[in-house]
Structure 1
Amino acid sequence: MRNKEIPASQKGVNESINMQKTTLISDLISLFKAKVLILNVLPVFAGFWLALHFTNASFIDHWVLFLLTIVGSTLVMAGALIFNNWYDVDIDTVMERTKLRPTVTGNFSLKAVLATGIITTLLGFILLLFITFETVIYAFIGWFTYVFLYTMWSKRKYTLNTVIGSLSGAVTPLIGWAAIDSAYHIVPIVLFLILFIWQMPHTFAIAIKKYKEYKAANVAMLPVVHGMNVTKRQMFVYVACLLPLPFFLSALGTTFIVIITILNVGWLILSLTGFFTENNWKWAHMNFLYSVNYLAILFILSIIVTLPV
């Protein structure tokens, strides 16, 4: 295993500056990557809700199952994110946006972070074992992909790290659905595909915004290795791939299809403007904001259109 220690000079600087800027709450939020975690919980909830809708089941009759699903899956995802923080401490020290993480500042010891990741993961899987084995399988695929195939293997070596990492986030609606019924159904499968494809332009937008940081940390992100033009072309292609997918969700109604299609066309136009702009950071930031709101609207709308009348 490679050396996990931070260089002494850098560690001294970080501790003297960052210790004054963080609190226990902010450290915990950073350690668990709260924003990422919340963004992943929504698809789990949507998957669960939609499975109830399509099986004509009652939420009241399954509220205990709902709690087990949400808490269990959240703990598993949190465990994966903590492992990522633990493993990436060396590159987090270099990147400006991650210098306040408790693993970098030294507020939390790496041994404590590793132990927390292990315990959180195990607790999550134990809770999911009370649901269905299919739920456990999807959760394990997401956890294993993110921790080993993305964080420890591909992130620093291959630009395909984005594709590999996208799999881990895409399984979330399958986890929620499988708690109620088998996820071998067109709705969760299409939601999986949308999430899988969505993560590519979303992540590329972040990589463009943080280009200098990823380059300094020697992380093999697409714009760092192949340049901005290649990244913009791939973003356009991936967004275009989203266009036909809402039409496979006819079970969610015409309103859903129309609204999501409008969002897809809007994103495609926005991605196209990237070929004519010189301000890559501003354009990438607009894509990032659009992608986050796109995902929130997609899953919240899927719940709204299936609310009992």
Structure 2
Amino acid sequence: MISFLQDLKYLFKRFVLIANVLPTVFGFFIAWRYYQVSFVDYLVPFILLIIGSGLLVAGALACNNWLEADVDKLMERTKNRPTVTGSMSLRSVLWIGLSLSFAGQLLLLFINFEVAVYGWIGWFTYVVVYTIWTKRRVTWNTHIGSLSGAVTPLMGWAVIEPAFHVIPLSLFLIMFLWQMPHTYAIAIRKYDDYKRSGLKMLPVVKGFKTTVSRTSIYIALLIFVPFMINDRNVFFYILLSLLNILWLIIAGKGFRTNNIKKWADQLFISSLVYLTSVYTLYIIFI
């Protein structure tokens, strides 16, 4: 049983699973505060959201493992996945992935059609467009992966009201832009793995200088996103601007560093602090 649970941990990429479900939960709570609705009235949809999004993400990650079993054998960071160790057959992993994806999509559909559509967009772009079509071919595969993650707050918001609203759309843009520096940091930290695997990650194909430049551009663009929202508390704009500037300063250090991997570690950690802080500020001030 312990061995099986360990396999599931690696199959579902535990921290990646949590990191994709949390923005969905945050999206729900931001909408809940904004519309000031009764939480009790949305308790069942909220439970369905957590379970459904969790199953859908887990299914997508399992399908990703199945599709990349050949590549995972070449990378140190993925050597413990059951598709590499052989503790699970590829057929079993595929069935797990498809079954969980279907179950998760069905639960989201029980909430409403819009939530299910966002879930489907996230799953399809990650499994098909990102993993199958672009990850082995082009460096802009990161943009596709970012699109998949960016729909998560829209799912949470759409539980309460349609997400065609400036607040969830700003969260979508923040998630999209944030994921580029975050992913580039991972790609630099695991540079040798990605080079060995042949996956078309930007640092491997274009080099570190280009990666640092693009990282700075995406973080700079984040500065403008909160100003899409009108009539919020002035501290909302000040604090978010300070967060963006501080993160941009950290990114800018990459132009002068003599240790690019140490810089990538700093960028990675600061990306987690940044995103957590952004969602906290949205919940407080929206």
Name the TM-score, length of structure 2 as normaliser: 0.96
User: How far off its partner does 1:117 sit?
Assistant: 0.3
- Match in the other structure for 2:237: 257
- Residue 252 of structure 1, CA deviation: 5.2
Question: Unpaired runs of 5+ in structure 2?
Answer: none
- Which position in structure 2 is the counterpart of 1:177? 157
Describe how 1:46-195 pairs up with structure 2 within 5 A: 46-195=26-175
Distance 1:55-1:207 versus aligned 2 partners, 3 A rule: same
Contact 1:93 1:99 in 2 (8 A): yes
- 2: CA distance, partners of 1:283 / 1:100: 27
Report the AA paired with residue 243 of structure 1.
Answer: I
Cα RMSD of the aligned pairs, angstroms, is: 1.4
Q: Is the 8 A contact 2:33 2:283 kept in 1?
A: no
Task: Please show how residues 20-31 of structure 1 align to structure 2 within 5 Å.
Answer: 23-31=3-11
Query: Which residue identity lines up with residue 106 of structure 1 in the other structure?
Result: G
Displacement of 1:187: 0.3
Identity %: 50
Contact 1:162–1:200 (CA<8 Å) still a contact in 2?
yes
CA apart distance, 1:247: 2.3
Instruction: Write the letter of the residue equivalent to 1:83.
Output: C
Give the equivalent residue in structure 2 for 1:275.
255
Q: Distance in 2 between matches of 1:177 and 1:251?
A: 20
C-alpha spacing 1:208/1:66, structure 2 compared with 1 (3 Å): same
State the one-letter code of the partner of 1:144: F
CA distance in structure 2 between the partners assigned to 1:250 and 1:300 by the alignment: 18
Cα offset, 1:40, TM superposition:
1.4
| Rounded Cα–Cα distance in structure 1 between residues aligned with 2:97 and 2:282 | 32
Q: Which of 182, 186, 200 is 1:220 aligned to?
A: 200
**Which SS does the other structure have where 2:106 is aligned?**
helix
1:239 has 2:219 as partner: yes
Following superposition, the deviation at residue 50 of structure 1 comes to 1.8
Contact 1:42 1:299 in 2 (8 A): no
CA, structure 1 residues 80+216, in 2 after alignment: closer, same or farther (shift >3 Å)? same
Instruction: Give CA-to-partner distance per residue, 1:9-46, whole Å, 9 cap, x none.
Output: xxxxxxxxxxxxx9333221111111011111121111
1:198-238: CA deviation from partner (whole Å, max 9, x where unpaired): 00011011111111110100010011111111111100101
Structure 1 counterpart of 2:121, one-letter code: I
Q: Which residue of 2 aligns with 1:10?
A: none
State the one-letter code of the partner of 1:44. T
Amino acid at match of 1:303: I
TM-score using structure 1 length: 0.89
Equivalent residue of 1:130, what SS?
Answer: helix
Letter matched to residue 151 of structure 2? V
Secondary structure, aligned partner of 2:60: helix
Output one character per residue of 1:148-187: Cα deviation in whole Å (capped at 9) or x when no partner: 0000110011001001110000000000111111001100
C-alpha separation in 2, matches of 1:23 and 1:127: 29
The one-letter code matched in structure 2 to 1:153 is W
Asked if structure 2 preserves the Cα contact closer than 8 Å seen for 1:249 and 1:257, the reply is: no
Pairwise CA distance, 1:258: 2.4
- Write the distance in 1 (CA, Å) between the matches of 2:232 and 2:47: 25
Q: Give SS of 2:111's match.
A: coil
- Structure 1 counterpart of 2:25: 45
